[in-house]
Structure 1
Amino acid sequence: MIRLIEKYPNELTIVAIGPLTNIALALQRKPSIAKQIKELYFMGGFYKFYGNVNPSATYNAWVDPEAARVVFQSGIPIRTVGFDVSVKSSVFTDEDYDEVLKLGTHYSDFFMKINRVRRKYCKEHQKMNGSNHPDAITVAAVIDPSIISQSVVRYVDVETKGELTVGALAIDELGVWKKEPNTTISVEADEAKFKKMVFDTLKLS
């Protein structure tokens, strides 16, 4: 990662769809790369919503909050696509799955298979009308930024020691910390545009 960032300064976008451990380690090894990264998309957190591992946090920050804090304090331009966006705008319902099944392509068959367990989990444990797809909508937003229809710019830090809130992204909504914003937080996404991208992809083979 360090080698590629230094080879292509200010050209690379990092898409972090998991915990930020590896990126924090790279920053600790070579802090100067923070100024050479074009942007980092982080699939995690939320804006005025709720968490999925505790009421205040989502898994990708909660599992290694110290790493998340290193990354958010690094100066890298960060854009989050959170749990809230995925719940509101990336849920494939039973009707959507029926349409995927009708496509009859290798990709659609793969989609059905890899989401079998997730579909059941999301419906039974997260009370969704189908399965949400946070990784996919994050990557889709990188490919077509217009999929994110509303965002806000705020200063964000990460809770590392809270007994009930470890892993929470602390969003300074009112500017009480008097720090320059470091994160663009996705608030709303275009569900129809996202699903069209997915269906167009699944039709390819």
Structure 2
Amino acid sequence: MTRPIILDLTPGAQGMATLLAALQVPDHVRPVLVLFSGRAAEVEVALTHARDLLHRYGLDDVSVCAGCPGPMVQAGDVGHDLPAGQDGLGALHLVRAVRACSADSVSICCSGPLTTLAVALVQAPDMASHLHGVIVNGGAFFVHGDATSVAERNIAADPEAAAVVLAAGVPVTLVPLDCAARLTADAVWMEQLEPMGRVPASVAGRVHAELVAARNGGARGSGVDISLRAAAPLLALLGPGLFSGHLAHVDVECRGEFTRGMTVAHRMGPPGVQPNALVLERMSVEAVRGVLRDLLLGVRE
């Protein structure tokens, strides 16, 4: 059965590689909506590239929209820029796309902050019944955070949104830094992807060039490993056997001066503690990298 999926991505090479990989398994998943959230200029570029990519795959019916441009709770009523031509109604587009799918059918893969999904769940709680699951890049439990010493950047960007999603009663899978920190594009993996770049004007060639540029970081020839965490939710959906974890009740710290964005997992056992997430602890890194590599190398021109 082909599962409808929604990709909530951050702009950049990794996000585009994730979208491209998702299009290589039409018998398993089919995107029904693609969202990008981040800086307005970067989102605008990502929207254009994604629409062109989907057009080349004959998927012009798949909506590509900007997600919510900032956190649910905005300090000092600070506004946020939107890409040109965007209405800022990413959550509304998400609700419509989910409601258009049958009950318990659609999976949402979130690579970045959970703002758009949280706003959608607040606006339309009924959409939860249509969700088969939500897979999220988020959290840091036993490792140093990448936003603060205790907080991972996607949760820290909008702790209130993460708390809303975890309290919504939908099946949530968390892919924390503990699990995905080692999922990177290293020199060996990039060398394996070189066949993608043989036709620079192709879809594969463009994505390969973006990955190379991201690794170079603007310094010619100084390739540095870059994170592939953006693809982790999709890969966890496609290859759950490559991951292992445990059920837990996860709380998000929203108020602490030094701990805002911290995730705390309570393992099952104490009376009254009910799980609200599957927390992935480990992945077979080489196998997961291999799946992503093979999907990208299988791109049809």
Give the Å deviation of 1:114: 2.2
Give the Å deviation of 1:29: 1.2
SS at match of 1:96: helix
Q: Does 1:3 align with 2:99?
A: no
1:125 corresponds in structure 2 to: none
Give the Å deviation of 1:3: 2.8
CA contact (8 A) 1:153 1:183 kept: yes
2:192 corresponds in structure 1 to: 99
- Letter of the aligned partner of 1:98 in structure 2? E
CA contact (8 A) 1:101 1:109 kept: no
Moved more, 15-24 or 104-113: 104-113
Q: Does 1:141 align with 2:236?
A: yes
Between the aligned partners of 2:154 and 2:295, the Cα distance in structure 1 is 26
**Whose helix proportion is higher, 1 or 2?**
1
- The answer to which structure, 1 or 2, has the higher relative contact order (CA under 8 A, 6+ apart) is 1
2:225 corresponds in structure 1 to: 130
Give the Å deviation of 1:6: 3.0
- Letter of the aligned partner of 1:140 in structure 2? L
Root-mean-square deviation (CA), in Å? Answer: 2.3
Unmatched 5+ stretches in structure 1: 122-128
After TM superposition, the structure 1 = structure 2 runs for residues 21-170 of structure 1, keeping only pairs within 5 Å, are: 21-88=115-182, 90-102=183-195, 104-105=197-198, 106=202, 109-116=205-212, 118-119=214-215, 130-148=225-243, 150-170=244-264
Give the Å deviation of 1:4: 3.3
CA contact (8 A) 2:141 2:264 kept: no
Between the aligned partners of 1:70 and 1:87, the Cα distance in structure 2 is 25
CA contact (8 A) 2:249 2:268 kept: no
SS at match of 1:166: coil
Between the aligned partners of 1:3 and 1:196, the Cα distance in structure 2 is 35
CA contact (8 A) 1:151 1:185 kept: yes
CA contact (8 A) 1:73 1:157 kept: no
CA distance change for structure 1 residues 9 and 174 in 2, over 3 Å: closer, same or farther?
closer
CA contact (8 A) 1:21 1:67 kept: yes
SS at match of 1:115: helix
TM-score (ref. length: structure 1) = 0.84
CA contact (8 A) 2:111 2:231 kept: no
CA distance change for structure 1 residues 12 and 199 in 2, over 3 Å: closer, same or farther?
same
Between the aligned partners of 1:117 and 1:177, the Cα distance in structure 2 is 51
CA distance change for structure 1 residues 145 and 107 in 2, over 3 Å: closer, same or farther?
farther
1:191 corresponds in structure 2 to: 285
Unmatched 5+ stretches in structure 2: 1-93, 218-223
TM-score (ref. length: structure 2) = 0.59
SS at match of 2:256: coil
Give the Å deviation of 1:92: 2.2
Give the Å deviation of 1:189: 0.7
- Letter of the aligned partner of 2:103 in structure 1? P
Between the aligned partners of 1:68 and 1:104, the Cα distance in structure 2 is 38
CA distance change for structure 1 residues 52 and 118 in 2, over 3 Å: closer, same or farther?
farther
Give the Å deviation of 1:195: 1.9
Between the aligned partners of 1:189 and 1:107, the Cα distance in structure 2 is 29
SS at match of 2:258: coil
- Letter of the aligned partner of 2:190 in structure 1? Y
